[in-house]
């Protein structure tokens, strides 16, 4: 098990990461969810022993690894957010180069490279120079490099940023397979809540350097168990109607995107009749009224008052 205890990183008197605690056990996928600038990447950098924390500790099997990170580095694979590859080399050459850094035997390395190429679906493109790859292929190779030395734990820092939906699905499936078939423990950071929701057993939500909520998906969603999220669609946007909703004491977390408005209301209250009255008052046509299950997006909005992808 890897544990992070009171991890703090201060840059010029600003706490980028503030007293963060979490753990990951073998075989589980843990999500670290938060908007850009929440401190996820700094947390990951400290966890992977690239950046020393200002205070706090990182433990592997109860032993601190900050002074002697070699033991952690052996069992840890890191997939950085950036494409950390030599673009002038082929996929195979990249894998051989990075595999060599782990001092693997020649035959063992060759076998691993073939296996990894298969796992990431690039076995037929392995002799192509990386700069000619699509964004999705580069992302897959980026993940493949971190898997070469067969680590027990994989840290993936926003591995689907900037790629097309097809490649994104491929990567999500690869991550899922790594977990189910190879029993890899994965720390998956993202600001796409649907990815975290799809992949992760447990979730930590970060904002402004702190963990503001944590638990299994159900536990986190229970934060909003006393409220319902309502999504209404109007025929057209109306400022007067929106102002009227804002002044309603029973509603909270009101969020408007043109003619779509979402808000939360306490469970057990049927707000539809009131809403119809308000529509009539402001001459607004209601097109739809939907009571939604709370999403992680709603939880984040509830906890911070801001949308996740601001």
List residues near other proteins by CB under 8 A: 11, 45, 48-52, 70, 73-74, 76, 78, 80-86, 88-89, 93, 97-98, 100-103, 145
CB-based contacts of 133: which residues, under 8 Å, 6+ apart? 91, 125, 141
Q: Which is nearer to other proteins, 146 or 232 (CB)?
A: 146
CB-based contacts of 269: which residues, under 8 Å, 6+ apart? 250
Please tell me the distance from the alpha carbon of residue 153 to that of residue 186, in angstroms, as a whole number: 6
Sign of torsion over alpha carbons 134, 137, 139, 141:
negative
Q: How far is the CB of 51 from other proteins (least distance, A)?
A: 6
Q: Which is nearer to other proteins, 27 or 69 (CB)?
A: 69
SS3 of 5-53: the string is EEEEEEECCEEEEEEEEEEECCCCEEEEECCCCCCHHHHHHHHCCCCCC
Q: Which is nearer to other proteins, 44 or 301 (CB)?
A: 44
User: How many helices and strands (H and E) does the chain possess?
Assistant: 11, 14
Q: How far is the CB of 80 from other proteins (least distance, A)?
A: 4
Q: How far is the CB of 108 from other proteins (least distance, A)?
A: 14
CA dihedral 216, 190, 229, 287 (to 10 degrees): -140
CA dihedral 58, 60, 62, 68 (to 10 degrees): -70
Q: How far is the CB of 101 from other proteins (least distance, A)?
A: 4
Q: How far is the CB of 21 from other proteins (least distance, A)?
A: 22
- As a 3-state breakdown, the chain gives helix, strand, coil percent values, each rounded to 5, of 35, 30, 35
Q: Which is nearer to other proteins, 23 or 102 (CB)?
A: 102
Q: Which is nearer to other proteins, 84 or 223 (CB)?
A: 84
Q: Which is nearer to other proteins, 70 or 270 (CB)?
A: 70
What token pair was written down for 46? 């400290």
Q: How far is the CB of 89 from other proteins (least distance, A)?
A: 7
Q: How far is the CB of 88 from other proteins (least distance, A)?
A: 5
Place of tokens 């046509």: 285
Q: Which is nearer to other proteins, 16 or 265 (CB)?
A: 16
């Amino acid at each position: 098990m890897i544990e992070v205890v009171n991890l703090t990183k201060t840059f010029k008197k600003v706490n980028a990461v503030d007293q963060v605690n979490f753990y990951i056990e073998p075989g589980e996928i843990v999500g670290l969810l938060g908007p850009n600038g929440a401190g996820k990447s700094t947390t990951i950098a400290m966890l992977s022993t690239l950046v020393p924390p200002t205070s706090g500790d990182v433990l592997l099997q109860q032993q601190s690894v900050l002074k002697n990170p070699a033991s952690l580095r052996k069992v840890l694979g890191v997939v950085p957010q950036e494409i950390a590859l030599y673009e002038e080399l082929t996929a195979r050459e990249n894998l051989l180069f990075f595999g060599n850094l782990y001092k693997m035997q020649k035959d063992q390395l060759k076998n691993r490279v073939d296996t990894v190429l298969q796992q990431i679906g690039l076995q037929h493109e392995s002799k192509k120079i990386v700069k000619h790859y699509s964004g999705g292929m580069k992302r897959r190779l980026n993940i493949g490099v971190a898997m070469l030395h067969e680590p027990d734990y994989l840290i993936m820092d926003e591995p689907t940023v900037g790629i097309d939906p097809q490649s994104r699905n491929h990567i999500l499936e690869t991550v899922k397979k790594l977990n189910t078939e190879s029993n890899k423990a994965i720390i998956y950071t993202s600001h796409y809540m649907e990815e975290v929701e799809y992949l992760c057993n447990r979730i930590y939500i970060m904002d402004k350097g702190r963990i503001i909520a944590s638990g299994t998906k159900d536990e986190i969603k229970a934060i909003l168990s006393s409220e319902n999220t309502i999504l209404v669609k109007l025929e057209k946007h109306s400022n007067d109607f929106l102002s009227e909703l804002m002044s309603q004491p029973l509603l909270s977390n009101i969020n408007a995107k043109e003619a779509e408005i979402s808000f939360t209301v306490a469970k057990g209250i049927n707000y539809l009749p009131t809403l119809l009255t308000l529509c009539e008052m402001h001459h607004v046509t209601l097109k739809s009224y939907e009571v939604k299950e709370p999403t992680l997006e709603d939880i984040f909005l509830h906890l911070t008052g801001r949308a996740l992808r601001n």
